[in-house]
Structures are given as structure tokens and as C-alpha cells.
Chain A
């Protein structure tokens, strides 16, 4: 698979500047907004986004300040036996959902291709790349968004990567993903659905022409394997 488009998004101001996009995503939580913001710059570079495979990663640190506020109120009302009287903004229930980015993007693209949401466990981003390699879709899109940490609901990062089976260039060079290799190597991790993919993109920009290996930093892996991505850069 050739990497043919990529984008990151960490600034909601960029999304707000696009009126149509902001109207679409404003009710979502930050990880979903940022993932969709990044995807919005990637899918137009695919030839047939309506039939591309879409792999969406659930945030490792989901939720939102509004959801957490609701949880606090539910907890208090539950203790006092008055939960039935609590009024809930149904929009905030969306912030608990883990497949929202996939659903929204499928809706926006009218996507009829293979769609899969991968869960919030660390290292699932690399499973997404493995999945694309295993399948024979002509094009694929991986998107992820996450908060900066469990107590950092004010900041986050979205990433999207577009792949194609046929050889195409990204920023004047070809980057072909050949394999995802693993060896058992338990490690502590810093869970994030998107940070590892963003670091990969930064490293790819500086990768030399020819065979190139990217060793996923242990903290951005799944905690069980040492993961190496094999690329051919030209």
C-alpha cells in the first residue's frame, strides 16, 4: 500500500473556519472533531472515497468535559435516588460513543466500502495498518483522534492517512508500506490513538530513499510487542 495522503489536526479554529464542516462536527467531542478534521483533508485525495476502506480508531481517552460533568451529576443523583429527574442533553451521550468518527465519515462520504472501528486499547493504530495490508481494497483511509491525556480534555490531536494499492506520490515521493513486523517485548505504554501515527508521519518525511524501517517507540506500541514498519521510499 502506498501512502498517498496524510494530515494532522490539533486546532479547532481550523475546523471552525470551515462553516460546513463545523456545522457537521460541532456536537461531537474533541477527539472525533480532530479526527474528522484531519480526514477532511485526506479523503479528497483519494480517487473513490465512497468505496475506500475506512478504519477508524476509538480514542484511548474519550469523553468530554460536558460528559464528565454529566457523569458527576448522575453519580450524585444516583446516590440520592433522584436520577429520574435529571435532564440530560442527548448530544452529550454522543461523547461516550466510540464509533462516531466512522459513522460520521461514512455518512459524509456515502461510503459503501469496508468500514471498521478499532477499539480504545493502546497500539490498535498498528493493527489498522496491518488490516489494510491484509485486505485488497484499492484505497483505504485510517483516521484517529484523541485527547492529550486522561486529564487533558482541552487539547488533542487528529490524524488521517490515505493509502492506495497503485503507486502514487505524496509530497513528491513515494512511500510504500510493505509490512508490519512484531516481536514479543512487553513495555509500558502511553496510550493514544493518534500520537503514534503523527510521529510516524514526521519520521517518514526525513526517511532516506530505499528500504526504510520505522521502529515504533515502545510507549506508542501495544505494550506486548516491539513493532517495526517496513517501508520502501523513493
Chain B
């Protein structure tokens, strides 16, 4: 008999504030945290809209470590759990390059992981599956707790790629939304919209404390949600794009449902990966339609409001899903005004009251790694 896995702590720093509550309130109000980034504008870049964590100045030394630590500390504090009593399954994305007067200074992704790992119990695993990393970290932690190899884990991730190097690199790949003269930068990323033209680069950190239900009950911890299913897959199709029919994503979603022992109709809300790229959104919509039928459950992408926090995105979005289950509400897809007929889904255009027991959150990484998580409403709505 495998252990039930519950969520007892949340931490989130994003373009919409430094707490899960701030993130939730701003999302439901339909506000965007994507802004013109002066440090990118000053470099002469043509894609300068991004989602920054405003409370952390860009010149702060070891900024990537501080970002991860703040999210981790918040989640552990809410759970009232000592890090030494929990494993760490974490992603800190790619090496980042901080602009200094001497040029770009390399900050190793592993520095953040190691700084956190030093205070955690085993297992300590650093996940690296691109944009699927945050969701994958949560799935790996779930597996460890279910099997009894860990009683509690801090899981999630952080990413600080909102820098001139990555902004220019993603622009070279045609993945980010380039600036349009006269347009509000908050409109740069338009998931599933017919006018979408790429994602807005962002940064952030999301942290969740996962533990066995028995462990949480013994401690008297409030159960915010339960993780009931996880699935992953590999596209094995192309390094730079998903198959147009979303076959790899579909396989991932079906594996998550099978793991949860749920039929598709049991999923009442979906947090989509929804980055706002032409091919990615179409493939994802195709996969969702094939799994859930049409119109299927209400679908939200938060990336119009947050930008794409890359490795951290899945963890931030899992935080949003937990809060949605608690509030029985789903946030809108900001900037989605003209849904693309090729992305036909039940899009949430305004925050919607929604009685829901299960929500599915998916992340699809560049290179073809896919991950999906299914969360169930907790029984204590603290």
C-alpha cells in the first residue's frame, strides 16, 4: 500500500509578488507582471518584455541562491517543518549570467541547489528537464514519498534566466515575443491567442512541501491539497519542437491519469503549459482535446501574466493550482482575447468560480520532456 502524498507548505516568488497569496490575487484580478525590463532595454535588445522578481535587485550577489532560498523558507515555514526532516527534489534551471560592470558573470545553477541541499536530509536530487523540471521535481518527490523512501520533501525550483544572454539567445531561436512599437509590454505573451508570437522570458521560484498524509496528520499540519497522479513522457520527435499532434504530451497526460486511477472526466480544471508560441500551444491544445474531448475542462495558462519562468514554471503553477482548489476558483489566461480556432478549448477568459476536486497541471520542456501532475482538493482549507 503506497502512502498518500499531501501538500502542507507553499512558497512563491514571481513577477506578481513574493507570496502565494499575492500571486493568486493578482492572477485572479487579471493583472500582468510582465513589464518592460530596463536592463534589457539598455542593452539594445528587441525583446525586452519580461517577468522579474522586483524585490530582488538584479545586481544582488548570488541572486539565484537568494531566490530559491526565499521560496523554500516560505514553504517550510508554512508547513512548520525543519529542512533537516525533509529531502530536497529541486531544479535551479540553467547557469545564469549576471550583468556586472566587468561583463557577464557566470552563476552556476548548481550553487543554488547545493546551498539548499546542505540543510536538507537525503534524498537530494537536482532535476534538469528544461521547462518540465518544476513539475518533474514534484513528481519525483511524490514517488519517493509514496514508496516510503522519504516521509517529506521540499520540491520545486527556481530560475533566473531573465538576462541579456538568454534574452538574446531565445530571440535568436525565435521563441520570445519581440517588442511591437507602441504596444504595452504586458501584452507581449498571449497564450492560445490567434495573435501570439512567443513567450515573455521570466524568472521566479516555487516551492511545495510534500509529505505522507500520515506524517502530516501526526504533526497536525494543515493539508492544503493531495498529489494523486504524475506522468511523464518524452516526445522523441525533434529537439526544438513538439509533434504537431501533441502525441508526446498526450502520452504524458494519459500516464498521469492512469497513475491517479482517474478517468479524464474527473479532471475539472487544467493548468496548461501555454507559453504563447505558435507550435507549442497548437500541439498542447491538440493533446488536451484528444484526452479530454471538446470542450473539455476549463483551461488556464498563467504565462500571459507571469511570463515563462522556465525550470521554475511548473512549481509556480502547482502553487496556483493548490490555491485554486482551496478557493474553488480558476484564474484567467491573461491576454487571451481572440482564441485561436486551432487551439479550441474551454479557455478561462475571466476568473471563474469553479467547484473542482481535481486539477491537472502540465509542463512541456524544450527537447521533448513532458510532465503532468494531478492534484486533489485538501480537506483542510487553511
A residues in contact (CB < 8 Å) with B:
58, 60, 62-63, 71-72, 74-86, 88, 90, 93-94, 96-100, 102-104, 106-107, 109-112, 114-122, 124, 127, 130-131, 134, 182, 191, 222-225
Contact = CB atoms under 8 A, between A and B. Distances in A.
A99 B311 CA distance: 12
B56 interface: no
B114 A121 contact: yes
Contacts of B147: 134
Contacts of B99: 75, 78
Interface stretch (B75-83, B118-126, B262-270): B118-126
Contacts of B103: 72, 75-76, 79
A99 B367 contact: yes
A119 B128 contact: yes
Contact of B122 (A80, A83, A111, A225): A225
Most buried by A among B43, B118, B124, B136: B43
The 9 nearest A-B residue pairs measured at CB: A119-B126, A75-B103, A103-B367, A117-B128, A75-B104, A119-B128, A78-B43, A88-B172, A83-B43
B125 A118 contact: yes
Contacts of B94: 96-98
B62 interface: no
Given A79-B103, A121-B113, A96 B129 contact: no
Given A71-B165, A74-B168, A81-B44, A118 B367 contact: no
B117 to A, nearest CB: 7
A29 B144 CA distance: 33
Contact of B128 (A80, A118, A182, A224): A118
Nearest to A120: B110
Contacts of A84: 43-46
Most buried by B among A62, A100, A115, A225: A115
A119 B125 CA distance: 8
Contact of B236 (A62, A75, A96, A112): A112
A179 to B, nearest CB: 12
B110 A127 contact: no
Contacts of A88: 168-169, 172
A110 B248 CA distance: 11
A79 B213 CA distance: 53
Nearest to A98: B128
Contacts of B172: 88, 90, 93
A191 B110 contact: yes
A223 B113 CA distance: 12
Contacts of B362: none
A71 B173 contact: no
Contacts of A117: 127-130, 133, 369
Contacts of A71: 97, 104, 106, 165
Contacts of A110: 236
B128 A112 contact: no
Nearest to B178: A84
B181 interface: no
A112 B235 CA distance: 8
B109 interface: yes
Given A74-B104, A106-B235, 7 more contacts: A60-B110, A83-B45, A94-B239, A111-B236, A120-B128, A121-B126, A127-B124
A131 B176 CA distance: 35
B126 A124 contact: yes
Contacts of B130: 97-99, 117
16 contacts: A77-B44, A78-B42, A83-B168, A88-B169, A96-B166, A103-B239, A103-B368, A106-B368, A110-B236, A119-B110, A119-B126, A121-B117, A124-B126, A134-B143, A134-B147, A182-B122
A78 B104 contact: yes
A83 B97 CA distance: 15
A181 B309 CA distance: 35
Nearest to A82: B44
A100 B367 contact: yes
Interface string B280-296: 00000000000000000
Interface in B145-177: 147, 149, 164-166, 168-170, 172-173
A102 B45 contact: no
B275 interface: no
Contacts of A99: 128-130, 365, 367, 369
A118 B91 CA distance: 9
A224 B136 contact: no
A79 B102 CA distance: 9
A97 B130 CA distance: 8
B245 interface: no
Most buried by B among A62, A74, A224: A74
A8 to B, nearest CB: 22
A224 B110 CA distance: 14
B311 to A, nearest CB: 9
Contact of A116 (B118, B127, B366): B127
Contacts of A224: 117-118, 124
B95 interface: yes
B127 A118 contact: yes
Nearest to B105: A75
B260 interface: no
A102 B366 CA distance: 11
Most buried by A among B118, B126, B140, B169: B126
Contacts of A118: 125-128
Interface string B28-51: 000000000000001111100000
A99 B237 CA distance: 15
B335 interface: no
A98 B366 CA distance: 11
